[in-house]
Amino acid sequence: AQSVTQLGSHVSVSEGALVLLRCNYSSSVPPYLFWYVQYPNQGLQLLLKYTSAATLVKGINGFEAEFKKSETSFHLTKPSAHMSDAAEYFCAVSERRDDKIIFGKGTRLHILP
Amino acid sequence: DTGVSQDPRHKITKRGQNVTFRCDPISEHNRLYWYRQTLGQGPEFLTYFQNEAQLEKSRLLSDRFSAERPKGSFSTLEIQRTEQGDSAMYLCASSPAGSGETEQFFGPGTRLTVL
């Protein structure tokens, strides 16, 4: 069965510092992996996705993630945090194209001035 | 592109009442998904449709829940005899299945509060 584990329900970084949000997945088949962002009182927005092409995936707003099969990880990074990055971030996995998505519990990112 | 829309955005009801939510997907998206998100948790899959056919239902979808997509366009999610545990954000998403696109586009959600 698919599952996603996000390490740290809350992460705080200073403005301008590196953002690193950790995600490990479990899947019985080569997975499709996603990072979604949710701003307060808004819907989910796709940041980036891995679909078996390049292992380093670039997304919107300067975020990127690297698929590491040996570590079953898909960590999200951004070189320099901005105040506008404060939000809830969800890592997610799907076993088939167009299939249901299994989400992690989320990590709330706080940006310190 | 107007995006996925959901109605109502907020619903407050008393325990035992029935409620119905509506989701309008992006035009020509043939897959439609329902998820539920409780406070502090990630969204959990409930069910999804390919056109008007309901292809999968989660065990989370008890007998009190029913979803329809009668003409393959909009969808409704009905909860009968609501319980306080049903309080959550109900999210709808759509995708253009068969086009090679894997992204699901999410609506703003309907927040249900059961008193």
Specify whether the CB–CB gap between B48 and B55 falls below 8 A.
yes
Residues in chain A closer than 8 A to B95 (CB atoms): 98
Letter string b/e over residues B70-91, b meaning 16 or more CB atoms within 10 A of that residue's CB: eeebbbebebeebeeebbbbbb
Beta-carbon separation of A49 and B102 below 8 A: yes
Residues in chain A closer than 8 A to B58 (CB atoms): 100
Tokens of A73: 């990880």
Dihedrals phi, psi of B41, to nearest 5 degrees = -120, 160
Beta-carbon separation of B91 and A94 below 8 A: no
Residue in B95, B98, B107 closest to A43 by CB: B107
B99 confidence band (pLDDT: 50, 70, 90): low
Closest CA–CA distance from residue A89 to any residue of chain B (Å): 9
Q: Which of A34, A13, A26 minimizes the C-alpha distance to A89?
A: A34
User: Residues 6 or more apart from B93 whose CB is under 8 A from it?
Assistant: A44, B4, B32, B33, B35, B104, B105, B106, B107
- What's the mean per-residue pLDDT of chain B? 92
Residues in chain B closer than 8 A to A104 (CB atoms): 42
Q: Is A21 in the B-facing interface, judged by CB distances under 8 Å?
A: no
Instruction: Return d(Cα A107, Cα A87) in angstroms, integer.
Output: 8
Positive or negative: CA dihedral B96, B98, B99, B101: positive
B98 confidence band (pLDDT: 50, 70, 90): low
Specify whether the CB–CB gap between A103 and A50 falls below 8 A.
no
pLDDT of residue A76: 98
Interface probe with B: pick from A99, A105, A107, A108, most Cβ of B within 10 Å: A99
Q: Using one digit for the tens of pLDDT, what is the confidence trace for B67-81?
A: 999 988 999 999 999
Q: Using one digit for the tens of pLDDT, what is the confidence trace for B8-32?
A: 999 999 999 999 999 999 998 999 9
Specify whether the CB–CB gap between A16 and A113 falls below 8 A.
no
Residue in B43, B95, B109 closest to A98 by CB: B95
pLDDT of residue B81: 97
pLDDT of residue A97: 76
In degrees, rounded to 5, the angle at the alpha carbon of residue A86 between the alpha carbons of residues A81 and A92 is 95
B81: left (phi over 0), alpha (psi -120 to 50) or beta: left
Tokens of A27: 């899947």
Instruction: Return d(Cα A102, Cα A99) in angstroms, integer.
Output: 10
Specify whether the CB–CB gap between B110 and B90 falls below 8 A.
yes
Q: Using one digit for the tens of pLDDT, what is the confidence trace for A19-53?
A: 999 999 998 888 899 999 999 878 899 999 998 77
Residues in chain A closer than 8 A to B109 (CB atoms): 43
Residues in chain B closer than 8 A to A97 (CB atoms): 97, 100, 102
pLDDT of residue A72: 94
Interface probe with B: pick from A2, A46, A98, most Cβ of B within 10 Å: A98
- Sole residue written with tokens 């599952």: A3
pLDDT of residue B100: 63
Share of chain B above pLDDT 70, in %: 95
